[in-house]
Chains A and B, each alone.
Chain A
C-alpha cells in the first residue's frame, strides 16, 4: 500500500506538469475516457490462468477500474498467453509473469488477485493472499475439504480482506426459483432437490512425459505425487475421467464442480447460506443412491432424489409466508463487478467466502456420506461429525510436503 501512496503522489505531480506540458502525459495516466486515474484503479494479478482463469482475466481486463499487472501459472503457454492478453489490453509490457504464486503475493503494489487454479490449491492461495493483504476472487468450488472453509474465512476476517467465491450462476441461472421461494408464493419451503454429479474418482493414469514448460511438481503442489498424464491436469470442463475436475486428488467431481452452482442456487433459494446441515442421510432405494440433508430449521435439501428434477421445490401450498427482498450484486458487471465494488467499499460480496464455504460444504458432506454409505450427523459450528471418528478422518487430508495451510 505504501507504494500505491507514492504512486499517487507522483501522479498528482504529473497532473500538475501536464497542465503546463499537455503533450507529455498520456490521457490514460490522468484518467481520461472511461478509465479512472491509475491511483483509483484496483491493481490486480491472476493465479492459475488456464481455461476458466483466462475467462476471469478477461472480465477484469475489461474493467476500466482495474489495472492488471501480474500473472502466475505453472504452465508456460498459459502464462505467456495471460501476459500477452494483459499487455495487449494496455499496449505496454508491464505484466510480469511468475510460476511461484508466493512471489506474486509478495508484491506490495498488488491490491487483489483472482485465483482459478485447480481446487486443491484454492485454500493455500487464498489464505496466503490474505496474509499478504490481498483481496481475493476465488473460483468455485472454493474448498477441497471441509476443514479448509473455516480456515479461509478466518484468514479473511483476520486481515479484513474481501474474499469472494466465484459462482455467477447462483444469482443469474436460478433467479426464477430463487424469486419464487423468496417471494413467499410457495409458502414455507419444505424441500429442494439438486441433481448433479458424478462423484470424484481416484486416478491411476500415468507414465507420460511431462510437456515442455510444465512445472509438474508445482502443479501437484499439496496433492499426492503422481506421474504426469494429460488427463490429470487438463482444464477441460468434462468430468468423465479426462480432466482434473474428475479426480478426487484435485477436485470433487461434478458434485463440487457443478455442485457449487446447483447447490449454491438451491441453498440460496431456501435461504440457508449462513449455516450448514446437521444431518446427511444416506439412502439406497433399489440401487438408486441419494442423500437428504436436514437443516436446523427443518428444511430438507435432497441430492438426486428419485423422480425429482434439478431445483425441484416443495413448498406449503395455501400457507402464507412474508416475502423477503432477494440480495444481489453490488456495483456493475455481475459477480466480477460485485467483487471490485466490495474491494472499494470493504463490504462483503454476494458470494462472501463464509457463504461460499457453507454452500460447498454441502457437496463435501454428501460425498462423504456416499463414500461411507451411511447417515452422518454434522456440527457446522465445530466443523466435525460428532462422535464419528471414522467420518472425521475425511474432514481433511494431509498435504504433500512442504505445503501447509
Chain B
C-alpha cells in the first residue's frame, strides 16, 4: 500500500512537472470558455468607435483563443464555427472585419461558404478575400474563381488579385480572357495574376494577350518578366528563355533591357 501511494504520488508529481514544462515550452494562454462566450455576445453589438483597451476588454478572449487553440482540433473547430456564423448574422461591418482577421489564421474549408457569399458585397468582399486568399483549401480557390462571374470593376480586380496571390493555375483561362477587359483595373489585375502564377501556360496567355491600353500593356510585359523569373527559379530554363525571347524586341526600352538580363540569367550568367 505504501509503495502504491508513493508510486501514484510520484507519477502525479512527474505529470505536474511535465505538464508545467510543456506549458512553459509552448506557454499558450489557457482557454476561458465563459469569457469567450461573453466576447461573442459583445460581438453582436460591436462597432467602430472604441479604443484599444475597450476593444481588448470586449473581444480579447476571442483574440487570445486563436493561439491558445493551436494543436487542439476540436477547440479550433468550435471557435471557427462560432466565428463563421457571425458572417451571416446581423452583426456590424466592424464585427465581421474582426471575424475575418481571426478566420485568416484558423479558417478552413468549412468557413468557405459563408465567406464566398460575401465576395460580391462591396463592404465585405475584401475581408472575405482576407481569409480566402490565405486559406490553403482548394474550396477557397474555387470560391474565388466562381466569384469572377458574380463581380465587376474593383471587386472583380480584387478577386483576381487573390487568385494571383494563390498562384491558382486553374484560373488561367478565365484570367487570360480578362487581360483584354475594358476596365483597366480588371485588365491590370488579370495580367499581374498571370505573372504571379508563373507557369508556361500563364506566360503563353500573357504573350497572346491583346491589352487595350498602354498602362495595361506595360503591366502585361512586367507580368511576363515576373513569370520568366518564376520559371527560372523553378528550374525551367527553357520556359524562361521562351518568355524572354518573346520580349527582346519590345518597343519599351526598360522591357528590352529586362528581357536581355533575363536571357543572360537563363543562360547561366550570375548577376
Contact residues in A for B27 (Cβ distance below 8 Å): 282, 284, 373
Interface string of A241-266 (1 = CB under 8 A from B): 10000000000000000000000000
Cα separation A143 to B127 with both chains bound (whole Å): 21
Identify B158's interface contact among A157, A204, A241, A401, CB under 8 A.
A401
CB distance from A90 to the nearest CB of B (A): 29
Query: Is there contact, CB below 8 Å, between B188 and A404?
Result: yes
Q: Which stretch of B3-11, B47-55, B82-90, B169-177 is in the interface? A: B47-55
A397 touches B29 (CB 8 A): no
Contact (Cβ within 8 A) B254 A401: no
Select which of A159, A227, A372 is within 8 A of B70 by beta carbon: A372
A204 touches B50 (CB 8 A): yes
Is the C-beta of A201 less than 8 angstroms from some C-beta in chain B? yes
Known contacts A401-B125, A401-B158; decide if A159 and B51 are in contact (CB<8 Å).
no
Bound-state CA distance A372–B97 (Å) is 20
B101 touches A202 (CB 8 A): yes
A226 within 8 A of partner (CB): yes
Is the CB of B26 closer than 8 A to any CB of chain A? yes
Which residues of chain B have C-beta atoms less than 8 A from A241's C-beta? 51-52
Q: Residue A154 at the B interface, CB < 8 A?
A: yes
Q: Is there an interface contact between A397 and B130, defined as CB atoms closer than 8 Å? A: yes
**A1 contact set on B, CB distance < 8 A:** 253
Residues of B in contact (CB 8 Å), total 62
B55:A204 contact, CB within 8 angstroms: yes
- The docked-state distance in angstroms from the alpha carbon of A404 to that of B218 is 14
In the complex, are the beta carbons of B258 and A398 less than 8 A apart? no
Max chain B C-beta neighbours (<10 A), residue from A204, A241, A401: A401
A207 within 8 A of B: yes
The verdict on A175 contacting chain B, using a C-beta distance below 8 Å, is: no
How many chain A residues have a CB neighbour from B under 8 Å? Answer: 42
In the complex, which of the residues A131, A394, A399 contacts B218, with contact meaning CB atoms closer than 8 Å? A131
Q: Does B118 contact A (CB under 8 A)?
A: no
Q: Which B7-58 residues have a C-beta within 8 angstroms of A?
A: 24, 26-29, 46, 48-52, 55
B126 lies within 8 A of A398 (CB): yes
Interface hits, A380-401 → B, CB 8 Å: 389-390, 392-394, 396-401
Do the beta carbons of B48 and A205 come within 8 Å of each other? Answer: yes
Does residue B240 face the partner (Cβ distance < 8 Å to A)?
A: no
Chain B 177-194 residues near chain A, CB threshold 8 A? 185-186, 188-189, 192-193
Please, what's the 1-or-0 string for B86-127, where 1 marks a CB less than 8 Å from any CB in chain A?
000000001001100100111000000000000000010111
Instruction: Say yes or no for B143: interface residue by CB 8 A criterion.
Output: no
Q: Are A389 and B189 in contact (CB under 8 A)?
A: no
| Contact of B188 with A205 in the complex, beta carbons under 8 Å | no
Q: Which residues of B contact A371 (CB under 8 A)?
A: 67
1/0 per position for A205-222, CB-CB distance to B under 8 A? 111000000000000000
A158 contacts chain B at the CB level, 8 A cutoff:
yes
Contact (Cβ within 8 A) A224 B135: no
Q: Are B28 and A205 in contact (CB under 8 A)?
A: no
Tell whether A207 pairs with B48 under 8 Å between CB atoms, given A372-B70, A390-B105, A402-B185. yes
Contacts A159-B254, A401-B155, A404-B164 known; A393 to B67 CB distance under 8 Å?
A: no
Q: In the complex, what residues of B have CB within 8 A of residue A326's CB?
A: none
Nearest CB of A to B168, in Å: 14
**CB of A38 within 8 A of chain B?**
no
Contact B261 A401 (CB under 8 A): no
Q: How far is the CB of B162 from chain A (nearest CB, A)?
A: 6
Nearest CB of A to B133, in Å: 4
Give the contacting residue for A202; candidates B55, B159, B162; CB below 8 A.
B55
Does B212 interact with chain A (Cβ within 8 Å)? no
Are B257's CB and A401's CB within 8 A? no
Q: Is the CB of A204 within 8 A of B48?
A: yes
Chain A residues in 8 Å Cβ range of B271: 157
Q: How distant is the Cα of A205 from the Cα of B257 in the complex, in angstroms?
A: 48
Measured between alpha carbons, how far is A372 from B52 in the docked complex, in Å?
Answer: 20
Asked if A61 CB lies within 8 Å of chain B CBs, one says no
Q: Which residues of A contact B159 (CB under 8 A)?
A: 401
A401 vs B49: C-alpha distance when bound (angstroms): 24
Q: Would you list 25 pairs from A and B whose C-beta atoms are within 8 A, ordered by A residue?
A: A133-B254, A157-B261, A158-B261, A159-B258, A204-B98, A205-B51, A206-B94, A224-B97, A225-B126, A226-B97, A227-B48, A284-B24, A373-B67, A374-B28, A390-B105, A393-B135, A396-B134, A401-B125, A401-B126, A401-B154, A402-B185, A402-B186, A404-B161, A404-B188, A404-B193
Q: State the 10 A-B residue pairs at the shortest beta-carbon distance, nearest first.
A: A401-B158, A206-B48, A402-B157, A402-B185, A284-B27, A393-B134, A404-B161, A373-B67, A401-B154, A398-B133
